[in-house]
Amino acid sequence: MTAQTIILIFTLVIYLIIIFVFNKARIKYAGGKVGKVINLILVTVCLLFIADYVVIFDQVMKTEILEIIRALFRTSALAFLAYGGAKIADS
């Protein structure tokens, strides 16, 4: 097992724990600002998850294209979090 594989497995476990915990919290705290914040966190984590696991397509696509896709997903996750956070704070 390479170091990259171990890191990917470790981050996969962390992502799954975050998604599981916040999904349970979303069910418990549906509605209101807390529910909106939980949804923001879930979407952000899912976008970051996709950005980290673009590496799976390494055999199919060029490395430059994968880096562009990774950067786009990370940027969209942070932009979504910033915009949603500003919108929630404004209300």
Return the CA Rg of the chain. 15
Q: How many whole angstroms separate alpha carbon 41 and alpha carbon 84?
A: 10
pTM, entire model:
0.86
Give 1-44 pLDDT, tens digit per residue: 889 889 989 999 999 999 999 999 998 888 889 999 999 999 99
DSSP structure class, residue 10:
H
Q: How many whole angstroms separate alpha carbon 40 and alpha carbon 12?
A: 19
- The pLDDT of residue 32 is 87
Give 34-67 pLDDT, tens digit per residue: 999 999 999 999 999 999 999 889 889 999 999 9
